[in-house]
Structure 1
Amino acid sequence: MHLRKRRKRKGILFLFILALLFGLYLYKENTTIGVTFVEVKAAGLPESFNHFRIVQLSDVHDSEFGDNHLELVNKVKILSPDAIFITGDFIDRNRYDLEQSLEIVKQLQGVAPFYFVTGNHEISTNDVERIKKELVELGVHILTNEAIMIDNEQGEQIAVGGIEDPLSSNLDEKEYVEQVLDNTFKDVPNDIYKVLLSHRPEQFEVYVDRQIDLVFSGHAHGGQIRIPGIGGLVAPGQGWFPKYTSGVHELDKTSMVVSRGLGNSIVPLRVFNRPEVIVVTLKIN
């Protein structure tokens, strides 16, 4: 009887230690930032843009990353990007704190040009014009169903376009993306390398159909809970066991980079799904 009690106590202690270690692991996974390095072989990329480096920040959701976002800011500075892309949900409609997120941009002034597109959270605040105005005042390029050219010293160019999140329209999501993409690159010559910022990865087939060279997306939060060997568990717009939650997806001439994002929204916890900064280096194919 005494031996049985000792075994029971040991079992309870083991489970307690196991739960404590898992809790510490989850805390670390949700409060520290990883950096993911990606190389994209880019057919049609001008030679002078070989090794062009892009940092992608997605789905910040008004999260904090140390005092004045020091952890995030220092990681980005060390990476020495040529451009910084913010691919939507920079703020969170449930704990809206624009000044807190703007501090990231303020701390990274002068590091590289910023390019921004809205996500569903910006639209749903009903404060999107103020958000854009504040970002413009900090020198951020706002891309609202339009493309601009990035020129370099060698006189070569690539086009960077961005589309407003579909929540801004009453149209079906796929129909909306088709329509605005036709408009976004209408003035860009066919032989120019085209980069698209679009919050929603589930529209990958539309991006492929419109022959976009490279897409940067987010929204899926990595599937929130990542199951080893399987991938993400659930994502908005894709449902259970979503296809596009992380990494690089390729079809025909189109590559799409999907960020797991940095923050959380309604679901406050990630599992096996560390917040990430993505660094994409373009390489001539």
Structure 2
Amino acid sequence: MSETSGWPRRIASGAATLFTTTILAGSAAIAFGAISARRFGIRYETMSLLPAGHAPLRIVHLGDMHLVAHDRQKIEFVRGLAALEPDLVINTGDNPGGIDAVDSVLEALEPLLHIPGVFVPGSNDFYGPRPMNPLRYLRAPSAMDSAEELRETIDVATMFRTFTETGNWHRVGNQTHTLQIREDLKINFSGTHDAHMQADAWPGFDHTDPPAQLNIAVTHAPYRRVLDTAIADGADCVFAGHTHGGQIALPRYGAIVSNCDLPTGLASSLFPWRAGGRTGLVNVTAGIGTSPTVPLRTFCPPEAVVVDLVAAN
């Protein structure tokens, strides 16, 4: 028998082994991503931005819940954030994960709605999810196009009305608002509507007397144009979400994409940003949820962020 007569059999066997290995590796990766997406945690940060002598101020920053209806584990995690005794809540949008999830979002946030807060919208506060190829994100940021007109809409009016009816939360999408947090602490907030929807219009800060001790900018998607404008206009810090921290990250490399023009290395972190001759801080949360069509996270755990503002030395 020729020495080459067994090659087809060996090739077929090798191909079958490779196929089986690939399937097993893919299944393991999906299982890992699904488990990781449910490991909700808290990232703690400190910003030395308050004037000397001021008592610390605790902020809970949450965003990108993408909460599907009746997700008890996520609902209880969000409700539990009130036990951290924040002085202020900042919500950077994309709360529901479906058109039927508004009641679940309101249940999750209910304890936090009794604490002073501000919020801005993301596109998923208005539109339900639509199927898409997740590999699109590897080519370029997802685009808002005419297909949005065909998506089912969320009852955003009820959701946002409930956010504000206690009088504690204030919407700052393309608006500015001033909060007197304590007798000795006045904070100016300015925010934008979702820059990913090309709906952002920077409103500027309120510079009336007496001046605020702190200027905070809030936006859903941290596009560089928004960060540049906010910092140059006097923002001491900016809070944003949208990126999911890349959602599918690689070990020792990090995020592959940010779904906007922010460098991937900044997709979920606290970092300085310089614009207009000024430097401010930016906090981008990786968010609590996932894309509803790709409910996986790898090496990028879901998070809420606790930021303790303290007096500068």
TM-score (norm 2): 0.72
* Inter-CA distance 219–13: structure 2 relative to 1 (3 Å threshold): closer
Match of 2:272 in 1: 250
| Shift, 1:11, TM fit | 10
Amino acid at match of 2:105: S
When residues 242 and 95 of structure 1 are mapped into structure 2, their CA distance, relative to the original with a 3 A threshold, is farther
Indicate yes or no: 2:275 matched with 1:272: no
Report the AA paired with residue 102 of structure 2.
L
Counterpart in 2 of 1:164? 193
Please say if residues 50 and 283 of structure 1, whose CA atoms lie closer than 8 Å, have aligned partners that are also in contact: yes
Equivalent residue of 2:213, what SS?
A: coil
Count of residue pairs brought into register by the alignment? 266
Question: Match of 1:70, SS?
Answer: helix
What is residue 46 of structure 2 aligned with on the other side? 39
For residues 99 and 150 of structure 1, what CA distance do their matches in structure 2 show?
A: 30
Cα distance change of structure 1 residues 69 and 118 upon mapping to structure 2, 3 Å threshold: same
Cα deviation 1:188-213 (Å, max 9, x = unaligned)? 76663101211121232222222200
CA RMSD after TM alignment? 3.3
CA offsets, 1:149-179, max 9 Å, x none? 23314x33222333322467xxx56xx44xx
- The 1:118/1:151 distance shift into structure 2, 3 A limit, reads same
The reply on whether 1:119 has 2:122 as its aligned counterpart is: yes
Identical residues among aligned pairs (%): 24
Q: Does 1:196 align with 2:202?
A: no
Q: Which residue of 2 aligns with 1:80?
A: 85
Question: 1-side partners of 2:216 and 2:239: how far apart?
Answer: 8
Question: What is the one-letter code of the residue matched to 1:97?
Answer: A
Residue pairs, 1:203-282, within 5 angstroms: 203-238=226-261, 242-251=264-273, 252-265=278-291, 266-282=293-309
CA drift of 1:249 comes to 1.7
Contact kept in structure 2, 1:220 and 1:244, CA below 8 Å: no
Closer, same or farther in 2 for the Cα pair 1:20/1:193, shift >3 Å?
same
| Residues 194 and 226 of structure 1, relative CA distance in 2, 3 Å threshold | same
Sort the Cα spacing of 1:52 and 1:132 in 2 relative to 1 into closer, same or farther, 3 A: same
Q: Equivalent residue of 1:253, what SS?
A: strand
TM superposition score normalised by structure 1 = 0.78
Distance 1:50 1:214, change over 3 A: farther
Match of 1:151 in 2: 181
Query: In the alignment, is the contact (CA less than 8 A) between 2:45 and 2:307 conserved in 1?
Result: yes
Q: Unaligned regions of 5+ residues in structure 1, if any?
A: none
Q: 1:81 to 1:233 in 2, by over 3 A?
A: same
Whether contact under 8 Å (1:123, 1:165) holds in the other structure is: no
Give the residue type in structure 2 aligned to 1:87: T
Shift of 1:55: 0.7
Per-residue deviation at 1:277?
0.9
Give the SS at the match of 2:264: coil
Between structure 1 and structure 2, the one with the greater Rg is 2
**1:103 has 2:107 as partner:** yes
Q: 1:90 to 1:39 in 2, by over 3 A?
A: same
Partners of 2:209 and 2:102 in 1: how far apart? 33
C-alpha deviation, 1:18, in angstroms: 6.5
Q: Which residue of 1 aligns with 2:206?
A: 185
